[in-house]
Amino acid sequence: MAAAVLFKVVLVSYIALVSIRLKICGLREAEHVVAAAEAGAAYFGFVFFPRSPRNVSAQEARMLAGEVPMGRMKVGLFVNPSDELLASVLDAAPLDMIQLHGAEPPERVAEVRGLTGLPVMKAVGVAEAADLALLEAQAAVADQLLVDAKAPKGAALPGGNGVAFDWRLIANRRWPVPWMLAGGLTAQNVAEAVRLTGARQVDVSSGVESAPGQKDSARIHAFARALGADAAP
């Protein structure tokens, strides 16, 4: 069995056995990596996109990765990255997964998987039912999907904007690969989002911040408690 296929089979089986899995994205400080670990996060996201207030260098990510407990996923978020950028980051930072958060078509997703040898999570923005077709196309090549809110018109960032979409659009929908819910999630609404969508994995960034790019340890723990994720790394 090919490694990528085996990864999907194992991950699907694991997700089915545990409670909701949590990804904290946009981590920039060691104390917040530690807080995410204490809260039971299964995925730790590091952003490599200069326009983002959550951007880190490969060297910073390497130091932060040292705080991630063994066995949990270190995810690098890229937006339409060049091969050179991917190679330079991976040479320095011990990532376990690539997250593509730009306009990468399925062909590029498959190419990045081959170039890096790592599983790839592809983010797809959703605002209306017509956007769901792209999820189907990306599911054919990605190892995971990130179902996110489509960035508002004129937004400077493709994600992390603190906006949600109509969760009823994906109520009880399933894809052939694991998927994660994102977009405007907070401690106040995550339980309802999970109830409406059936998500088994969720991603949060701005929802655990006191200001753009500034994570808050208390908010991280509050989000995990609302999700019930403390014991499900």
For 28-65, write each residue's pLDDT tens digit: 999 999 999 999 999 999 999 999 999 999 999 999 99
The string over 82-106, giving b where at least 16 C-beta atoms fall within 10 Å of a residue's C-beta and e elsewhere, is eeeebeebbeebebbbbbbbeebee
CATH topology of domain 21-227: TIM Barrel (3.20.20)
Cα–Cα distance for residue pair 201/213, rounded to 1 Å: 22
Neighbours of 31 (CB within 10 A): 11
Please state the domain extents for the chain.
21-227
Distance of CA 14 to the CA centre of its chain: 17
Is 86 within 8 Å of 78 (Cβ atoms)? yes
Nearest to 197 by CA among 181, 186, 184: 181
Neighbours of 172 (CB within 10 A): 8
**Confidence class for position 231, pLDDT limits 50, 70, 90:** very low
Is 25 among the catalytic positions? yes
Is 216 among the catalytic positions? no
Mean pLDDT across the stretch 127-143? 94
Lowest-pLDDT range of 85-89, 151-155, 227-231: 151-155
Which is catalytic among the residues 131, 143, 148, 166? 148
pLDDT tens-digit series, residues 185-214: 999 999 999 999 999 999 999 999 999 999
Cα–Cα distance for residue pair 122/137, rounded to 1 Å: 11
Nearest to 73 by CA among 126, 148, 160, 143: 143
Nearest to 15 by CA among 190, 230, 180, 221: 180
Query: Is residue 147 helix, strand or coil?
Result: strand
